[in-house]
Structure 1
C-alpha cells in the first residue's frame, strides 16, 4: 500500500550506519537474518573485558580491542550478546591494522553483527552520525504525528467518522484495523472484517476492569486493543489484528494517537444520542401530562418517522430482579433492533424502563412475537440479565397513546419483580391480583407482605416448622382440607392445628374470604421479590 510522503520514519539500523560513506564502515559479519535492519538504541564505547553489566538492550558496542589478552574474543562476543547488544564495531589502530580473525569467527559463530572502522575515523564520528540520525528520526516522527493529527482532525470535522480515521491510519501503516464499541458493534473496518464471535470477544475484553489490552480472536490470533473513551469511560476500542509485541513503537504511537481522535468521534455521537434521547423523553412527558402540550405529540412522532395518525403500539423494556432497571446502552440496543426489523420507532430511556413507541397496522397478536425477539436480542447484548417487556393496548392514533403507555409500563413493572415465568406480557394478560399489586409502590407492598409472613418465617426458623409451606399449599388447593392434607402427607387434624397457628401469628383467619385474599397477596408479593 502506498504511503503518504512525510510519514515514514528513518530508523537507525546497522545497515543505515554502514551506508554512510563518511564513516568508511565495512561489514565483516552480517549476523542473524534481519540483524542489519533491526533498530539500534544507541552506541556504547567500551574496552572492558566483560562489558555486559553496562551494555543495554539494543546498543551497538564500539571497541578498539584493548581487552585482547585479558579475555578471548569468543568470551567478549558472548558478553555482548548476553547483554542484548545489537552488534560490534571494531576500530583499527596503529598496533592492529586488521580485525582479529578470532573475533570474526566468534561473531559468525554467535550470529552477532561485526563491522570494521578504519584507523582514520574516530569513534566520535560514529557517535555524531548516530546522534544526527536519531535526531532526524525524532524530527520525522514528530512531523509525521503532526501531519497525521491534522489529517485525523480533518476527517473528524468533515464527518468521516471511524472509517475516515481508519483510512488516515492506513496511509501510514499496512495494518488490519477495526473500531468496535462496548456493545460489540462494528463502527468501521479497514483491511479486515470481524465476525459475530470476534465482535463479542472484543466487547468482553472492553467490559473487563481494567479493559484488556489484547484479545484472542480465534483463527485471526491475538489482536491489540487501544481503548477509546469519551468522558473517562471506555466506550469503544481501536482494534489492530496484530499482537502488541509485533507492533513497532511508531505503529503503537500512531494507533494511540488515532484512538484519542476517535474519542472525539465517540463524544460527538454520544452528544447526538443524548439530544435524541432527551427529545424522545420529552415526547413521553407530553403524552403523560396531556393538556396543552399534547398537541405537540404528533409533530414529535413525525420527527422520528412515526405516523401519528395511524395505530400505535407501546413496548416497555427493563431488567427483572436487577438493581438498575435500565443500563447504559439498552436504549441504543432497542433502537438498533427495530431498525434491523425495518420499523420506525421512538425510543426513550427512563430510570425504570425504556419505552418504544412504534406504528402497528398489523393484528395485535403479532406484537408479542416481535417483543419476544426484542427480549432475546437484549439478552444477547446483556448476558446474565433477565430482560422483560410489557405491552399496552394498541392506540388508534397519537391522542390515545396515554392509556397504552401507562399499561405497557405497568405490565413491565410487574414482570421486573419476578424471577421466573414469561418474559413478555400484555397488560390485558396480567391477573387482577397482580394489577392490584402493581398499583402499589414496591416498598409499600413489601411492607404489607412482611407484616403478615415474617411471623410465620420466624416461627418456622425457630421450630423447624412448615407453617408457610402449609399456608401456600392450602391456598394452592383452593382451601380444600382433604386435598391439602394429602398433598402435605399429614392428617387433617394436623393441618387444622397448623392453620390455627397461622391465624394466631398473622391475625388472619383462612376460613374468611377477605383474610384469605390478604394472605394470598402477601405470598404473591413474597414470591415476586
Structure 2
C-alpha cells in the first residue's frame, strides 16, 4: 500500500505535514509506539504511529526520528489528540527526509492500522491468486510437453528467485539466468550424493559468502544416482513463508518435468528392448528401423560406439541401472538406451574418419568423468562400463556390442566403484579373461589358489604374496628376495611349498602362466 492510497481514504482525514514528495513510498505494516527509540521493534517499511508521549523536550524529536529512520520505516503518523504537531518534530522529519502525517483527534490509530492491514491483505490475496494462476498455466504447459528451460526461467522470474536445476552428475538442466560454472555444478552434485538430509545449505568453495539451498527433485522413481537437484540462492532456514512457497512452486515444476523425462526414457527403452537380440541375429534392417526415431540410426554409414553397462550387485530399485547409464550419456543426441540388468547404449558419433574417432575418445572421457562424480553415491553398488571402438554403419554394431561386453567384463574384474574400460584397452590376456564365464573363472581360481589361501590362513604365512612377487620379478631369485627383504633360502623354501601345494613347477613357463592368470582373476 502506498502512502498516497492511505491518505486518499476520506474517513481517516489524514494529511501531510511534510514529505508529500514521498507519497509513492510503500507501506509494509503499521506500528504504534510511544517509545523514544523504537528501532529494535521495527523491521523496515512501517508506518509508525505515535501519540508523542515520548517527547519531554525538543531534543527528543531528533532522537525519535533518527531511531525510526535508521530502522527503515517509511513514514511517521503523529496523533494530535493531546496537541498540535511540534515544530521540532517537523524539522527532524525534514532533516531525515521522513514523511510526517497528521492524524486528527477524531481518527484512532486502530482505524489507521485496520485500513493498512485491510489493504495489505487484499493485495496479498490478489497476488496469491495471480501467482497460482500463473503457476497452474506453467504446470499445464510443462505437462503438455513444453520445453523445461524457458518454463523454469519464467517461473523463477515470477517467484523472484535465483535458482538452477542440475542432474546427479552436475549436468545443467535449467536455470533462472546464467548456468552455474561447470566446476560448481559438479562439486554440488558429488557432495549431494553423500548428504543424508535435505534441504541442505552449502557455500561454494569459491564463493564463501553465498549460501545455496539444495534439495532433490523427488519423483515416484527417484534415486540419488539418477535424479535432479533444485538449487536456490539463499539459506532456507532464513526464508519467509512466502519464500518457502515460491521455492515449492519451482520444485513442483521440476518434479513434473523430471517425471515426464523419466516416462519418455522408459518408453524409449521398451521400444528398443529387442535391440540386443536383433544385433545377435544380424537382422540389421530391423535394427535400423528400431533405431529410427531415436537419432542413433541417422546416417547409417556414419560412426557409432556401443556401451555395455551393469550395476553389481543387481539393484533393488527397478530400472536403476538403465537410468544411471542414461544420465551418463545425456547431452549426446541420438543415444539409444535399453536394458536394465545388462544395459546397452548405441550412440552415433558422426561421419566416418579421424573426426569420428576423436569424438569417440571425447565421449569416453566424458563417460569416465561423469562416472567418477557418481562414485560417492555408489555405496552399495559397483558400476562397470565397457565402451567399443568407433565402427562404421549399423552392420558393424554387432561386433561393437561384443567388444563392449568384453570390455565391461574386464571392468568388473578390475574393481572400483565406477570403472570404464574401452575396447582398445583389452589387447592382452585380460581380453581372454573377460570373455570367460564367471563360473569358469571362479572354478579355475579356486582350484589353483585355494590350497595356498587355506595354508596362509591356517599358518599365518605369505605364500600367495610370495608367489605374486616371484612372478612380478620374472622368477629372479635375487631380485625377488631383495624386494621382500628375506634371505634367498627363505624364498626358495616358500616357492617349494607353493609348488607342492599347487602341483605346479615354477621353472616351467606354462605353469607360471597358469598361476599368473589365477592371480589376475583374484584381483
Q: Normalising by the residue count of structure 2, what TM-score does the alignment of the two structures yield?
A: 0.71
1:153 alignment partner in structure 2 = 139
2:217 alignment partner in structure 1 = 229
2:272 is aligned with 1:280:
yes
Contact 1:390-1:410 within 8 A present in 2 as well: no
Shift of 1:381: 2.5
Match of 2:49 among 62, 69, 76: 62
Unaligned runs of 5+ in 1: 1-11
Contact 1:485-1:491 within 8 A present in 2 as well: yes
Match of 1:315 among 295, 306, 309: 306
Q: Secondary structure at the match of 2:372?
A: coil
2:380 alignment partner in structure 1 = none
Contact 2:328-2:371 within 8 A present in 1 as well: no
Shift of 1:56: 6.6
Distance verdict in 2 for CA 1:370–1:191, change over 3 Å: closer
Match of 1:439 among 437, 441, 444: 437
Distance verdict in 2 for CA 1:84–1:285, change over 3 Å: farther
Contact 1:302-1:308 within 8 A present in 2 as well: no
2:407 is aligned with 1:416:
no
Match of 1:347 among 329, 337, 346: 337
Q: Find the aligned partners of 1:168 and 1:411 in 2 and give their Cα distance.
A: 45
Deviations 1:392-433 (A, max 9, x none): 7969854x7555433421222112322699942348614168
Q: Secondary structure at the match of 2:423?
A: strand
Deviations 1:49-93 (A, max 9, x none): 89899x574565533245656996677778878999776532111
1:297 alignment partner in structure 2 = 287
User: Mean alpha-carbon deviation: is it higher for 100-109 or for 154-163?
Assistant: 100-109
Contact 1:226-1:238 within 8 A present in 2 as well: yes
Q: Secondary structure at the match of 1:416?
A: helix
Deviations 1:107-164 (A, max 9, x none): 7788877543112322232133113202211221122123312431343255332244
1:334 alignment partner in structure 2 = 329
Distance verdict in 2 for CA 1:224–1:309, change over 3 Å: closer
1:522 alignment partner in structure 2 = 518
Contact 2:273-2:339 within 8 A present in 1 as well: yes
Match of 1:379 among 368, 375, 382: 368
Aligned-residue Cα RMSD (Å) equals: 5.3
Matches within 5 A, 1:17-416: 17-18=6-7, 20=9, 22-27=11-16, 37=25, 39-41=27-29, 43-45=30-32, 57=43, 60-66=47-53, 88-93=76-81, 96-101=82-87, 115-166=101-152, 168-169=154-155, 172=158, 179-188=165-174, 192=178, 195-197=181-183, 199-200=185-186, 203=189, 209=195, 210=198, 212=200, 216=204, 222=210, 229-231=217-219, 233=222, 235-236=227-228, 253-254=245-246, 256-288=248-280, 290=281, 296-305=286-295, 306=297, 315-318=306-309, 326=321, 328-337=323-332, 339=333, 344-348=334-338, 350-351=340-341, 354-356=344-346, 358=348, 362=352, 370-383=359-372, 385=375, 389-391=386-388, 398=395, 402=398, 404-416=400-412
Contact 1:145-1:254 within 8 A present in 2 as well: no
2:494 is aligned with 1:494:
no
The alignment of Structure 1 onto Structure 2 pairs a total of residues equal to: 499
Shift of 1:269: 1.6
Deviations 1:13-51 (A, max 9, x none): 5565345454343456769x999846524x344567898
Contact 1:408-1:426 within 8 A present in 2 as well: no
Shift of 1:104: 5.5
2:506 alignment partner in structure 1 = 510
User: Mean alpha-carbon deviation: is it higher for 63-72 or for 515-524?
Assistant: 63-72
Unaligned runs of 5+ in 2: 376-382
Q: Secondary structure at the match of 1:336?
A: coil
Contact 1:410-1:427 within 8 A present in 2 as well: no
Q: Secondary structure at the match of 2:274?
A: helix
Q: Find the aligned partners of 1:281 and 1:180 in 2 and give their Cα distance.
A: 28
Distance verdict in 2 for CA 1:51–1:446, change over 3 Å: farther
Distance verdict in 2 for CA 1:424–1:296, change over 3 Å: closer
Contact 2:201-2:235 within 8 A present in 1 as well: no
Distance verdict in 2 for CA 1:360–1:134, change over 3 Å: closer
Q: Find the aligned partners of 1:470 and 1:491 in 2 and give their Cα distance.
A: 13
Deviations 1:241-276 (A, max 9, x none): 789899997677455424422322221122111211
2:453 is aligned with 1:454:
yes
Match of 2:469 among 466, 473, 498: 473
Contact 2:303-2:352 within 8 A present in 1 as well: no
Distance verdict in 2 for CA 1:141–1:174, change over 3 Å: closer
Shift of 1:377: 0.7
Q: Find the aligned partners of 1:518 and 1:286 in 2 and give their Cα distance.
A: 38
User: Mean alpha-carbon deviation: is it higher for 56-65 or for 142-151?
Assistant: 56-65
Q: Normalising by the residue count of structure 1, what TM-score does the alignment of the two structures yield?
A: 0.71
Distance verdict in 2 for CA 1:312–1:445, change over 3 Å: farther
Q: Secondary structure at the match of 2:345?
A: strand
